[in-house]
Amino acid sequence: MAATIIDGKAFAATVREKVAGHVARLEADHGITPGLAVVLVGEDPASQVYVRSKGKMTREVGMKSVEHKLPATVEQQALLELIDRLNNDPEIHGILVQLPLPDHLDEQRVVNSVSPAKDVDGFHISNVGLLGTGQKSMVPCTPLGCLMMLREQHGDLSGMNAVVIGRSNIVGKPMAQLLLGDSCTVTIAHSRTRDLPDVVRRADIVVAAVGRPEMVPGDWIKEGATVIDVGINRIEVGEKTKLVGDVDFESASQRAGAITPVPGGVGPMTIACLLANTVTACCRANG
Ligand code: GUN
């Protein structure tokens, strides 16, 4: 049986519609416009594309979008001062510093300089700790989008075997925390995991977030499992470049019960969740 294709693009559009409704009510009832500031350091082409797309969608749902572009050579102190100004700006409710940062900057220090209440990425150590202890926090956008798709697909995830492949702070670790919060039995697999194919074959839910093109072949997937592919990898096919995930979609979709495509799966949900987090931050800031 061919898998159900989970349409992240369509789902993200419904999330953005809800966000737009919320933004309109905040404006009409309280005269408040949620504001999102995105900070981009350097000229990384992929980051530039993401930042442009975030700005466009922020404006489309009626929120204020501010972009700060800094040269790759910016000194850490100047970046920290900008973040401090944004932390104290009452018109800004969410702050996102696009990662990765150039090597001379201390990424952890920069991330932790964002006010936890405005940390719409959920990367500040306070938010990481709150999520890890099951308390109300800002939740990282990509894992949040994945969780929303899984809940939409299954309703209750309780008792399911979930395998997260990848242990990054941005996706793998928070994804595992969210699945645990929904009472899944969670395994985090990574580059040193022994017998990875067997680990993946036991999973009812597979979340692949390693950044290696098509590394998960279809025969690792349990019949009927749900596969969430976080990878966005650019590969050369002849003269052209093509976007592929971390999962071999062709073969995996023959065995999975449901699977996200690349592109059009997790990617659009990430931005929709960023907008939703900004509204949440705005509502919390205004009681
Ligand atoms: N770079 C890749 N993914 C992300 C993300 O979710 N947030 C930020 N700030 N940078 C990223």
Is 167 annotated to bind ligand?
A: yes
For the CA of 121, the nearest atom of ligand 1? 7
The predicted pLDDT at position 83 comes to: 99
**Does the predicted model carry a pTM greater than 0.80?**
yes
pLDDT at 1 over 80: no
Sheet containing 161-165: which strands, arranged edge to edge? 4-5, 258-259, 226-229, 205-208, 161-165, 185-189
Where do we find the tokens 């995105």? 38
The predicted pLDDT at position 72 comes to: 98
The predicted pLDDT at position 263 comes to: 97
Catalytic (active-site) positions: 54, 98, 121
For ligand 1, is residue 160 a contact (CB within 6 Å)? no
For ligand 1, is residue 130 a contact (CB within 6 Å)? no
pLDDT at 146 over 90: yes
- Per the CB < 8 A criterion, the answer to whether 36 and 63 are in contact is yes
The predicted pLDDT at position 80 comes to: 98
* β-bridge partners, 185: 161
The predicted pLDDT at position 265 comes to: 98
Is 134 annotated to bind ligand?
A: no
Is 172 annotated to bind ligand?
A: no
| 57-71: pLDDT as tens digits | 999 999 999 999 999
Q: pLDDT category, 287, cuts 50, 70, 90? A: confident
For the CA of 140, the nearest atom of ligand 1? 6
> How many residues belong to the chain?
287
Peptide bond into 197 cis (omega under 30): no
Q: pLDDT category, 18, cuts 50, 70, 90? A: very high
| 104-144: pLDDT as tens digits | 999 999 999 999 999 999 999 999 999 999 999 999 999 99
Q: CA distances (Å), 221 to each of 4, 13, 208, in order?
A: 14, 29, 12
Is 42 annotated to bind ligand?
A: no
Domains of the chain listed by start with CATH number: 33-118 (3.40.50.10860), 141-267 (3.40.50.720)
Ligand 1 mutation pick, 49, 95, 99, 278, max ligand atoms within 8 A of CB: 99
Sheet containing 35-41: which strands, arranged edge to edge? 64-70, 35-41, 94-97
Q: CA distances (Å), 36 to each of 13, 16, 29, 84, 170, in order?
A: 19, 15, 20, 15, 19
- Per the CB < 8 A criterion, the answer to whether 93 and 278 are in contact is yes
| Separation CA 103–CA 114 (nearest Å) | 19
How many whole angstroms from 44 Cα to the centroid of ligand 1? Answer: 13
Where do we find the tokens 């800004």? 92
For ligand 1, is residue 230 a contact (CB within 6 Å)? no
Q: Which ipTM value was assigned to this complex?
A: 0.96
| 247-281: pLDDT as tens digits | 999 999 999 999 999 999 999 999 999 999 999 99
* β-bridge partners, 29: none
191 exposure class (CB count in 10 Å sphere: 0-12, 13-18, 19+)? exposed
